[in-house]
Amino acid sequence: MQSNISNRTDENGDKVQLIEYIATTTASVSMQNCISVLKDVSKHKEFQDDKVSKIVKTISDHEWVVYYYTDAPWPMPNSDTVALMNFSEDATKKTATFTFTAAPSMFEEKGVKRMTYYNVTYAFKDVGNGNVEMTMTSKMSPVIKAPGWMIGRWFPEGPADILRGILKFAKSS
C-alpha cells in the first residue's frame, strides 16, 4: 500500500487536498466473480462504506453513471459523488479494469456537497492457478479539507478493507 496526501488546484482556482493511494492484493478467487461484484453497483456501498450506491444511467453495456451518497462521520459533512463507470476487459492479457471518473453534472443535485475530483481504478489480473491480483488506484479530493489525523487513521486499513470487501462478495458468489 502506498499513499500520499498533498494539494492541487481545483476547477475554481482554489487549493484543495489531494488524497492518493494504491493498494494491491492477490487472492484465490474467480476473476468473473470479481467482475460481477464491481458490475453490481448496489453492492459498492457495502465495501466503500457509503449509505447509497446505485446506477443512475446506463450509457452502454460497458459504461454507466453511478451515484454514491456518503453519510460521513463527524466532523466531515455528508456528501455525494457522481461518476462515470467504465468497464474494459482484455481476454488475451487476462485483465479487467473498472475506472470511475467524477461526473458531477450528470445527476441532479441532492442538497449535499458533491465530490468533483474522483478518479478510481480497480484492475484485476488473472495470474494463474485460480489467483487474481487486485489493484485499486485512487486520486480524489474530499469535499472539505479533512483533518490530518483522520486521514492518517484511515491508512492502511481503509483501502485494505475495500479490497477485502470485494473479495468477500466475490468468494460468496
| SS3 call for 104 | helix
Domain hosting 80: range is: 2-172
Pairing state between β 15-28 and 63-70? unpaired
CA pair distance 41, 107, nearest whole angstrom: 16
Predicted confidence at residue 150, as pLDDT, reads: 81
Q: Phi and psi dihedrals of 40, rounded to 5? A: -90, 85
Q: What is the pLDDT of residues 142-156, one digit of tens each?
A: 999 888 888 888 899
pLDDT-derived band at 139 (thresholds 50, 70, 90) equals very high
Neighbours of 156 (CB within 10 A): 12
* Poorest-pLDDT segment among 20-24, 50-54, 70-74, 129-133: 70-74
Query: 92 in helix, strand or coil?
Result: coil
The CATH number covering residue 60 comes to 3.30.530.20
> Number of structural domains, the chain?
1
Please give the C-alpha separations between residue 160 and each of 8, 47, 50, 58, 127, in angstroms, as whole numbers.
25, 10, 16, 29, 20
- Report the alpha-carbon angle 44-47-50, nearest 5: 65
- What pLDDT, in 10s, does the model give residues 11-36? 899 999 999 999 999 999 999 999 99
